[in-house]
Chain A
Amino acid sequence: MADIHLWGALRPAAGGASVVQVEAKTIRELFRKLEDAYPGMTPHLARGVAVSIDGRIYRDSWETMLPDGAEIYLLPRIQGG
């Protein structure tokens, strides 16, 4: 089980929790399991969520592995200029 840190906008969908536990090997699996466990996150995931793994931010590489013990943060999928 990995600790998944949520940014503020996702917390209401997890009953106010700032951290949830999910068993997932990849970002793709993480997103799938988050949608199953917390349906309120679906619109946020559709709008775009990035994943920070040990400080490196992934926006698109959903096949990326989630290493054991890594710090995992969900962040908004940001826009740029």
Chain B
Amino acid sequence: MPLDASYHAKSFKSVGTRPLRPDGIDKVTGRAKYGADHNMPGQLVGLILRSPHAHAKIKRIDISKAEKLAGVKAVLTAADLPDLTNGDQGMFDILDNCMARTKVFYDGHAVAAVAAVDMATAKQALKLIKVDYQVLPHVTDVDEAVKPKAPLLHEKCFTEGGESKPKNPSNVAKITEFGHGDVEKGFAEADIVIERNFKTEQTHQGYIEPHACVASVSPDGTGELWVCTQGHFVYRNHCAMLLGMDVSKLRVTSSEIGGGFGGKTHVWMEPVALALSRKSNRPVKIVMTREEVFRASGPTSATSIDVKIGIRKDGTITAGKAELRYASGPYLSMWGELGAMTSFACYDLKNVKTRGYEVLVNRPKSAAYRAPSAPMAAFAVESVIDELAKKIGKDPLEVRIQNAAKQGTKSSYGPVYGPIGIGPTLEAARKHPHMKAPLGKNQGRGYACGFWFNFGGQTCTDVNVGPDGTVTLTVGTVDVGGSRASLALCVAEELGIPYDQVKCTVADTGALGHNDMTDGSRGTFSSSMAGIFAARNTIEVLKERAAKMWEIPVSDVAWENGHAKAVGSKYGNLAPLSLKEIAAAAGNTGGPVAGHAEIVADGAGVSFATHICDVEVDPETGRSRVVRYTVIQDAGKAVHPTYVEGQYQGGAAQGIGWALNEEYIYGKDGRLQNPGFLDYRIPVCSDLPMIDTQILEIPNPNHPYGVRGVGETSIVPPIAAIANAVSNAFGVRMTHVPMSPPRVLKALEAAKKTKKA
């Protein structure tokens, strides 16, 4: 029973309520400690020298003058970070990204670092470092990069996964294929086939808090790292490996996090801070500027996607095919592969084929961004489905309902689906009042569906009962979206005590076993499962203690509503013992009362959403404004519905920014032109309508309370839904994101010319 993850229907007392957020007061009063808020005695200022070139060989680095500057305590290059990755290519790429070794691959790539007594000295020291570059031709565009004569990033990059072994190196690092059936036969059966290319520009996760850390390494080989991260255990493991430290001797503490969205899932400059500390024998603090965040951390891929879909006049989709090219920066990743897996996952298709291409370009190393790769693929597929529906004179939502995947459908990425929620989200959309609301002048309505996998992973928690009967829940998953409240609700539910009797804390890496990161929508899913198991183990201890207090066999003790109860008529006169009473007596019944759980939480289950949006396009300026937006998504069980709604709204808001404004703009010199929030415009409150949400609760059979992850799927449909709405507003198919005013105006002008002709 303690480790039974299967869902059992029950009525809840705490789960499903909306208590005030426990971190709220600290955050609004400024008491909460973020990455840059921590300081250590005697700490130095760390700064990183970054490449001004998009692609260049490093011929020589002269640090002698910088080292001699008064106040400089350490100067570091790749020579101070030897390769200890033992053939692990993924970790070597992270190391090379932290500090370039033989070549710089993008504007902003780190080449050296200094630690000095103050900022002015550190800045002066950076200017004294002389780097002799041999500038090389560069390529930043994903379609240009795949051309045979494109500048080559890695001379030994031979495409993996193609039909035949390539003779020549290229920037296509890997090709991956998914699908089943015969797409050509499917297209032959279609009445209408549409084939289009779609492009999305590179966007940044746009977390408000820049990367920041304070590192301290002692001469005895132990170290401490305070850092803003989505996964301090993973950062610990990465840093220990890259620096040759013992994992157990490096204690990492995660700060509060001002957003991550996938961008804080692997190390960027933290090993550099530790190495500077080791070299200088002083604590070192590094805080990235916003410009550094844009130039050198975490953007998502720019993409170019060719989609071909066939449909019969009765609305049946006969075949779908997609070639998806994802820019992954200078290193191999799996972004094209994820695009290929997710692109047609919402639909029940007999014939489907997708190929994902990992394309290397002279841009920063691409990182995960909330349901990574799925939004771009959905944009392409959902746009063509909308267009096809119109061509056959059917409602686009009804076409989606007709072709939606269901239990027993063979998914486009391979396996057959179990129970899934795409159908219910579409049915809910059909009934939603938003569907019947009238549209104004220059307004259009769009819908789109979205899919994401979700996952679980390694998780470790402790429940400790204090002498006053209050409970501490200690977790190792960073709270990125309110999980501390949700996890406390689950433990309170399991113990049968009020929510305000439980306090949830995110522990440092010295306090718990390894926890995977908060990514893949796993924080609440995994840690609530582990928390419930730890609570169940705690209950076993509480029952033993009650048995001792009563001097009866533990087999005669049951746990109900936060109390131990003696079972059987012979104990009729024993009043139940509350958790508080048992806790108060713990010192004489065996000591502290605690429960622990370490698990692998598999079975997160796939996730679906349907979004509806209305957009108004100004025909004079080309500016598009979202006037109404509705998110419908399955949460399994919404532990804290306000936080679930927040996740839905947050994903939609980021998707709106991605669809309408945000883009990395590179000059011909390969340098990023807009590394700041003035020129890279994320949506602010005044840009957004109130985003309406509808939570569906179809229990996940693989979680005790039916919980599913909810953090990522909400960013998948927005680009497509908005593109469909903008296209419907003035009858021109939008194929290039962001749909910024100049791009919309250009499309409007082109449409006018076509009409005249």
Contacts and interface: CB of A to CB of B under 8 A. Distances in A.
Given A47-B90, A54-B418, A61 B161 contact: no
Nearest to A18: B180
A78 B600 contact: no
Interface string A47-59: 1000010111111
Q: Which of A57, A76, A80 has the most CB of B within 10 A?
A: A80
B178 A7 contact: yes
Q: Which of A54, A73, A78 has the most CB of B within 10 A?
A: A78
Interface residues on A, range: 20 to 34
Contact of B176 (A64, A76, A80, A81): A76
B165 to A, nearest CB: 8
A79 B522 CA distance: 11
Contact of B712 (A56, A59, A80): A80
B174 interface: yes
A23 interface: no
Given A7-B178, A76-B334, A81-B261, A56 B702 contact: yes
Interface stretch (B43-51, B433-441, B450-458, B558-566): B450-458
B648 interface: no
B417 interface: yes
B602 interface: yes
Q: Which of A5, A52, A57, A58 has the most CB of B within 10 A?
A: A57
Interface in B257-314: 261-263, 265
Contacts of B175: 8
Nearest to B174: A9
Interface residues of B, number: 48
A80 B455 contact: yes
A80 B418 contact: no
B370 A81 contact: yes
B337 A76 contact: yes
B413 A55 contact: no
A56 B603 contact: yes
B179 to A, nearest CB: 8
B458 A60 contact: yes
Interface in A34-75: 47, 52, 54-61, 64, 71, 73, 75
B230 to A, nearest CB: 9
Interface in A1-43: 5, 7-9, 12
A81 B372 contact: yes
B471 interface: no
Nearest to B369: A81
Contacts of B263: 81
B341 interface: yes
B457 A59 contact: yes
A78 B368 CA distance: 10
B455 A55 contact: no
B519 interface: yes
- Label chain B's interface by main secondary structure: loop
Contacts of A58: 602-603
Nearest to B264: A81
Contacts of A60: 456-458, 600, 602
Given A60-B602, A78-B453, A81-B265, A7 B372 contact: no
Contacts of B712: 80-81
B521 interface: yes
Interface in B390-438: 411, 413-418
Contacts of A64: 602
Given A75-B413, A80-B520, A81-B369, A57 B176 contact: no
Given A9-B176, A9-B337, A55-B417, A80 B368 contact: yes
B152 interface: no
Contacts of A61: 600, 602
A78 B414 contact: no
A55 B416 contact: yes
Contacts of B520: 78-81
Q: Which of A55, A59, A64 has the most CB of B within 10 A?
A: A55
Contacts of A54: 415-416, 418
Nearest to A5: B414
B650 to A, nearest CB: 12
A61 B522 CA distance: 16
A59 B456 contact: yes
B288 to A, nearest CB: 19
B374 to A, nearest CB: 10
B372 A9 contact: no
A72 B392 CA distance: 38
Contacts of B521: 80
Given A61-B602, A73-B415, A79 B334 contact: yes
B338 interface: yes
Contacts of A56: 418, 602-603, 605, 702
B617 interface: no
Interface string B299-335: 0000000000000000000000000000000000110
B592 to A, nearest CB: 31
17 contacts: A5-B415, A7-B177, A9-B176, A55-B417, A56-B603, A58-B602, A59-B457, A60-B456, A61-B600, A75-B414, A80-B371, A80-B520, A80-B522, A81-B261, A81-B262, A81-B369, A81-B520
Given A64-B602, A71-B416, 19 more contacts: A7-B176, A8-B175, A9-B176, A47-B90, A52-B415, A58-B602, A60-B600, A60-B602, A73-B414, A75-B415, A76-B334, A76-B341, A78-B453, A79-B368, A80-B262, A80-B368, A80-B519, A81-B372, A81-B520
Interface of B: 90, 160-161, 174-178, 205, 261-263, 265, 333-334, 337-338, 341, 355, 368-372, 411, 413-418, 453-458, 519-522, 600, 602-605, 702, 712
- The 8 A-B pairs of least Cβ separation, nearest first, read A81-B262, A80-B520, A8-B177, A52-B415, A81-B368, A80-B519, A81-B370, A60-B600
